[in-house]
């Protein structure tokens, strides 16, 4: 099937969406998300994308402001330069822009949605997904006290999530992990430090985490501390899972060669798109390295794309893909994502993302439309 991806216009919108409860990590606390959305328009169809940046560069170097600037100054003009024959060509088109993976991914997502609608196929099918449902996990933020954390964990356990991930940081680790493991001896438990520890300073604190039987310990050290992760992995039994460190195929290969991590969290926004994310999956699948899909507090737009990605065969561990209502009172898409029996999310079957954006639910801060010359 020969198609041309050549949008007449691109709209950027910044929306505000309140979380059902505040989310705290080692880098900060959020109660309302500001989310940059992308809408590409062509021949009466619209493709939606979501940018996983935050208002400030706390998780990674990008933020909403840099993403907007890079999109309007470089990415959208390069989209208007000439038609693309396939969404996977986007990567080469924007290779001249160094960095800014989240900005690139948002536009790529919108192009995949548009492409899927043009050819009448779901992202799952276009990407070679093999599953109709994906294992759902939940990420639990840092809580003000242990009793409230135990109540939250119990709630998610009762809802059926297949694993629970606890956010930890220095000073909020062993007490929390001991209490949760003692109260729930049998749950699948993981911990995510978002790079808050230092090697070798925190060696003892980290090595003694083996007693909690964590499925994995996510990103304990800074993203560029390859040797620190490799040395830590040699000192503990718990598999290290890399998140922030893996930004490309090259850093993936470095991680595997050094054995700096034994498991990979794949976040498309962090690696520069769904095309790169699929290649990272393919390398890991060939080498028997387990992967799972990370989350960035997405709306149903980004969630739909991530669920489709997680339907690939190498995504064998529970994902940071939760029901819409874990995050939002009312998601901005229909149908919303709901937790199925056994702790799964269904993979959308309709064309493109397979969800409808309900525009009336968008609380728009600003929006701007960019038109291609000559339309």
Residues within the interface to Mg ion (CB under 5 A): 192, 218, 243
- Report the candidate in 331, 341, 328 with the shortest Cα–Cα distance to residue 133: 341
Query: x/- binding map, residues 179-218, to ligand NPQ, per CB under 6 A?
Result: -------------x-x------------------------
Rank residues 164 and 297 by Cβ distance to ligand NPQ and give the closer one: 297
Report the site for ligand NPQ in 317-346 (rule: CB under 6 A).
Answer: 320
Q: Which of 104, 165, 169, 267 is catalytic?
A: 267
For ligand NPQ, the binding residues in 162-181 under the rule CB under 6 A are none
Burial grade of 369 (CB within 10 A; 0-12, 13-18, 19 or more): exposed
Spatial contact of 135 and 312, defined as CB atoms under 8 Å apart: no
Which of Mg ion, ligand NPQ, none binds 122 (CB below 5-8 Å, type-dependent)? none
Sole window of 121-129, 154-162, 270-278, 292-300 interacting with ligand NPQ (rule: CB under 6 A): 292-300
Of the two residues 48 and 327, which places its CB atom closer to ligand NPQ in the complex?
327
Based on the residue annotation, tell me whether 169 is a catalytic residue of this protein.
no
Q: Which residues contact 249 (CB under 8 A, 6 or more apart)?
A: 276, 279, 280, 283
Active site residue 104: no
Please write down the long-range contacts of 325-328, taking CB distance under 8 Å and 24 or more positions apart.
Answer: 325/20, 326/20, 326/138, 326/156, 327/19, 327/20, 327/297, 328/17, 328/18, 328/19, 328/20, 328/299
Nearest-approach distance from CB 50 to Mg ion, in angstroms: 18
Rounded-to-integer distance, Cα 234 and Cα 170, Å: 21
How many angstroms from the chain centroid is the CA of residue 123?
16
| Dihedrals phi, psi of 264, to nearest 5 degrees | -120, 130
When the beta carbons of 59 and 127 are compared against ligand NPQ, the nearer one is 59
Structure tokens at 59: 């998780």
Distance between CA 42 and CA 286 in Å, rounded?
Answer: 37
354 binding partner (options Mg ion, ligand NPQ, none; Cβ < 5 to 8 Å by kind) = none
Contact call for residue 297 and ligand NPQ (CB under 6 A): yes
**Backbone phi and psi for residue 59, each to the nearest 5 degrees, phi listed first:** -85, -40
Q: Which of 10, 51, 59, 264 binds ligand NPQ (CB under 6 A)?
A: 59
Q: How far is the CB of 348 from ligand NPQ (least distance, A)?
A: 20
Smallest CA-to-CA distance from 309 within 289, 298, 293 is with: 293
When the beta carbons of 195 and 333 are compared against ligand NPQ, the nearer one is: 195
Which single residue brings its beta carbon nearest to ligand NPQ?
139
Between 46 and 50, name the residue whose CB sits nearer to ligand NPQ: 50
Q: What are the phi and psi torsion angles at 279 (to 5°)?
A: -65, -40
For residue 105, the partner it binds in ligand NPQ, Mg ion, none, with Cβ less than 5 to 8 A by kind, is none
For residue 202, the partner it binds in ligand NPQ, Mg ion, none, with Cβ less than 5 to 8 A by kind, is none
Active site residues: 167, 267
């Amino acid at each position: 099937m020969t198609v041309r991806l050549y949008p007449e216009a691109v709209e950027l919108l910044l929306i505000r969406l309140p979380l059902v409860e505040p989310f705290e990590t080692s880098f900060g606390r959020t109660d309302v998300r500001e989310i940059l959305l992308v809408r590409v328009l062509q021949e009466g169809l619209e493709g939606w994308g979501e940018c996983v940046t935050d208002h400030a560069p706390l998780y990674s170097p990008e933020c909403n402001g840099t993403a907007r600037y890079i999109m309007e100054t470089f990415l959208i003009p390069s989209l208007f330069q000439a038609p693309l024959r396939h969404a996977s060509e986007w990567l080469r088109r924007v290779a001249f822009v160094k960095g800014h993976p989240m900005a690139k991914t948002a536009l790529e997502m919108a192009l995949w949605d548009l492409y899927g609608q043009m050819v009448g196929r779901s992202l799952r099918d276009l990407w070679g997904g093999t599953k109709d449902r994906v294992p759902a996990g939940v990420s639990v933020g840092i809580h003000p006290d242990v009793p409230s954390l135990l109540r939250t964990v119990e709630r998610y356990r009762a809802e059926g999530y297949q694993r629970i991930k606890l956010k930890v940081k220095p000073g909020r680790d062993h007490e929390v992990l001991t209490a949760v493991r003692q109260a729930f001896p049998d749950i699948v438990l993981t911990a995510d430090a978002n790079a808050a520890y230092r090697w070798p300073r925190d060696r003892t604190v980290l090595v003694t985490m083996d007693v909690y039987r964590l499925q994995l310990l996510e990103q304990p050290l800074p993203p560029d501390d390859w040797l620190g992760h490799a040395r830590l992995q040699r000192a503990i039994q718990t598999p290290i899972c890399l998140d922030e460190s893996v930004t490309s195929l090259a850093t993936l290969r470095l991680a595997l060669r050094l054995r700096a991590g034994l498991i990979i969290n794949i976040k498309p926004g962090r690696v520069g798109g769904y095309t790169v994310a699929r290649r990272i999956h393919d390398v890991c699948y060939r080498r028997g390295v387990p992967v799972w899909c990370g989350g960035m507090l997405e709306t149903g737009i980004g969630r739909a794309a991530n669920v489709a990605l997680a339907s690939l065969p190498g995504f064998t561990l529970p994902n940071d893909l939760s029901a819409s209502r874990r995050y939002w009172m009312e998601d901005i898409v229909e149908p919303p994502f709901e937790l199925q029996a056994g702790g799964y999310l269904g993979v959308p079957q309709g064309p493109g993302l397979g969800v409808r954006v309900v525009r009336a639910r968008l609380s728009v801060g600003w929006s701007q439309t960019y038109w291609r010359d000559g339309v």
